[in-house]
């Protein structure tokens, strides 16, 4: 960069010469990349790249914390996929910045076949029965054992 400084009184240049300007990197985003699809029960490798305000990779990459909605992911970005088919997301976080990528799993179990995530209880009916038994709830045809009926007058 060439800078010229003018004397405001005379309008003449007094100094002219090159100047080096350094702009420090500012961490602004995380770009997560990896496969868009994989096999349920398999593994997928994701990577995260931290970028500055100009979109350039940071000179020193921060340690990323990983999370995934359709499996478990380790500190290196290696995802052990779950057994259910569907669309999921993996995320990397550092210094309050998060980047994510979507992926789809196939070749596994459909969510509807597993009771929609209710542990295979057919949509939650088994869970409702279990809670009713635990709480001792009864219907009007089967009142609690300790209830007393009053005689009509």
CA distance 9 to 88: 67
Does 80 reside within a domain?
A: yes
44 and 103 share one domain: yes
Number of domains present in the structure of the chain: 2
Share of the chain above pLDDT 70, in %: 66
pLDDT digits (tens, 9 = 90+) for 113-139: 555 443 333 334 333 333 333 444 444
Together in a domain, 66 and 105: yes
87 and 42 share a domain? yes
Q: What's residue 4's pLDDT?
A: 73
Helix, strand, or coil (residue 130): helix
Residue 14 lies in a domain: no
pLDDT at 54: 96
The mean pLDDT value of the chain amounts to: 78
What are the tens digits of pLDDT across the range 97-110?
999 999 999 998 88
b/e map 103-138, b = 16+ CB within 10 Å: bebeebeeeeeebeeeeebeeeeeeeeeeeeeeeee
Is 11 contained in some domain? Answer: no
Q: 25 near 59, Cβ under 8 Å? A: yes
| Domain span at 72 | 29-109
Q: Write down the pLDDT at residue 33.
A: 97
1 domain-assigned: no
Q: Is residue 3, in this structure, part of any structural domain at all? A: no
Domain containing residue 49: CATH number: 2.60.40.10
Identify whether residues 63 and 129 lie together within a single domain: no
- H helix or E strand, kind and range, residue 47: strand 47-51
Helices (H) and strands (E) in the chain, counts: 1, 11
Same domain, 73 and 129: no
Same domain, 120 and 78: no
Q: Which whole number is the average pLDDT over 59-85?
A: 96
Instruction: Give how far the C-alpha of residue 149 lies from the chain's centroid of Cα atoms, to the nearest Å.
Output: 57
């Amino acid at each position: 960069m060439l800078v010229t400084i003018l004397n405001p009184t005379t309008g003449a240049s007094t100094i002219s010469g090159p100047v080096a300007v350094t702009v420090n990197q500012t961490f602004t985003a995380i770009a997560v990349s990896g496969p868009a699809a994989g096999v349920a029960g398999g593994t997928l490798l994701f990577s995260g790249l931290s970028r500055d305000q100009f979109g350039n990779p940071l000179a020193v990459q921060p340690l990323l914390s990983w999370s995934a909605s359709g499996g478990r992911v380790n500190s290196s970005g290696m995802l052990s996929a779950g057994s259910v088919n569907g669309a999921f997301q993996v995320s990397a976080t550092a210094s309050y910045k998060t980047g994510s990528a979507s992926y789809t799993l196939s070749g596994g179990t459909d969510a509807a076949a597993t009771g929609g995530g209710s542990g295979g209880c057919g949509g939650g009916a088994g869970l409702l029965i279990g809670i009713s038994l635990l709480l001792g709830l009864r219907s009007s045809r089967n009142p609690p054992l300790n209830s007393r009926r009053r005689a009509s007058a």
